């Protein structure tokens, strides 16, 4: 099933604690395989601890502190770019789907945001034991926030994203179910995160965004 087909024909809209859609089978088998095979370093093996954010990478600056290798950057985040697109042909196909005018217009209509001048950003995520994410609202530059789950290791469904109300009361947990996910339009009361939970092996996800800042993937006009 394609992402758009899932959005239009295999999704459910919810209003509590904020407007969001849950998606069934948004990924193809080929896309799932690429997500599983992506080589993403384990921070714990390099004496780095999760701090409740996703601001961790071995590439440069303060996120390189404490990394003894000193040479090739350790990658704790894996964005699909034109440079590495040959490693991810199926995910690049997803990006090209999202770039199409007819598709971003349909998503624009759903989330009530103009995506005609946006860029697509796709990131493969692999969270390990110790990961947590403090309640937050996404930056305004993220016009659409979407997380798609890949659970091939029988991890607990409790490892999905936690949604909160404006008082930061936990309202619901999206199930960490294989080939399942959600999307919403970022706003001032779209509080979400993940409480500290047991991750037996890994929590693989694909983050998909339409953003206002430049990436390699500008949408069609």
> In the chain, what percentage of residues exceed pLDDT 70?
86
d(C-alpha 7, C-alpha 5), whole Å:
5
Contacts of 18 (CB under 8 A, 6+ apart): 163, 184, 187, 189, 190, 191
Q: What angle do CA 31, 148, 139 make, to 5 degrees?
A: 125
Tokens matching residue 55: 């601001």
- CA 60 remoteness from chain centre: 22
Tens-digit pLDDT profile for residues 159-214 = 999 999 999 999 999 999 999 999 999 888 999 999 999 999 999 999 999 999 99
pLDDT score, position 45: 74
> In the chain, what percentage of residues exceed pLDDT 90?
73
Tens-digit pLDDT profile for residues 115-142 = 999 999 999 999 988 888 889 999 889 9
d(C-alpha 199, C-alpha 129), whole Å:
5
For range 5-20, the mean pLDDT: 94
Reported confidence tier of residue 42, pLDDT bands at 50, 70, 90: confident
pLDDT score, position 197: 93
User: Which CATH code of 2.60.120.620, 2.40.50.140, 1.20.1250.20, 1.10.1740.10 fits the domain covering 3-40+77-218?
Assistant: 2.60.120.620
Reported confidence tier of residue 41, pLDDT bands at 50, 70, 90: confident
Where do the structural domains in the chain lie, given as residue ranges? 3-40+77-218
Q: Quote helix, strand, coil % in the chain, to nearest 5.
A: 25, 30, 50
Q: Is 131 exposed, middle or buried, given 0-12, 13-18 or 19+ CB atoms closer than 10 A? A: buried
CA 80 vs CA 27, 62, 87: distances in Å: 16, 23, 9
For range 53-76, the mean pLDDT: 47
d(C-alpha 219, C-alpha 221), whole Å:
6
User: Looking at the predicted structure, is the pLDDT value of residue 36 above 60?
Assistant: yes
Tens-digit pLDDT profile for residues 188-197 = 899 999 999 9
Query: 193 with 161: CB under 8 angstroms?
Result: yes
Reported confidence tier of residue 69, pLDDT bands at 50, 70, 90: very low
Closest to 145 (Cα-Cα) out of 169, 118, 166, 168: 118
pLDDT score, position 65: 41
Identify the bridge partners of residue 14 per DSSP, sorted by sequence position: 20
């Amino acid at each position: 099933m394609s992402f758009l087909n899932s959005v239009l024909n295999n999704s459910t809209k919810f209003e509590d604690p904020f407007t969001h859609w849950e998606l069934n089978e948004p990924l193809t088998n080929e896309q799932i395989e690429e997500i599983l095979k992506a080589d993403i370093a384990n921070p714990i093996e390099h004496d780095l601890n999760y701090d409740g954010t996703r601001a961790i990478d071995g590439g440069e600056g303060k996120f390189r502190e404490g990394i003894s290798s000193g040479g090739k950057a350790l990658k704790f985040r894996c964005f699909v770019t034109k440079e590495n697109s040959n490693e991810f042909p199926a995910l690049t196909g997803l990006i090209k789907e999202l770039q199409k005018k007819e598709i971003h217009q349909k998503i624009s209509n759903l989330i009530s945001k103009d995506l005609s001048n946006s860029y697509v950003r796709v990131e493969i995520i692999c969270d390990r034991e110790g990961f947590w994410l403090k309640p937050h609202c996404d930056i305004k530059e993220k016009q659409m926030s979407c997380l798609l789950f890949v659970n091939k290791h029988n991890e607990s469904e409790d490892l999905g994203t936690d949604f909160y109300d404006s008082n930061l009361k936990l309202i619901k947990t999206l199930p960490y179910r294989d080939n399942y996910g959600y999307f919403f339009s970022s706003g001032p009361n779209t509080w979400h995160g993940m409480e500290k939970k047991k991750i037996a092996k890994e929590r693989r996800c694909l983050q998909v965004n339409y953003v206002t800042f430049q990436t390699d993937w500008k949408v069609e006009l």
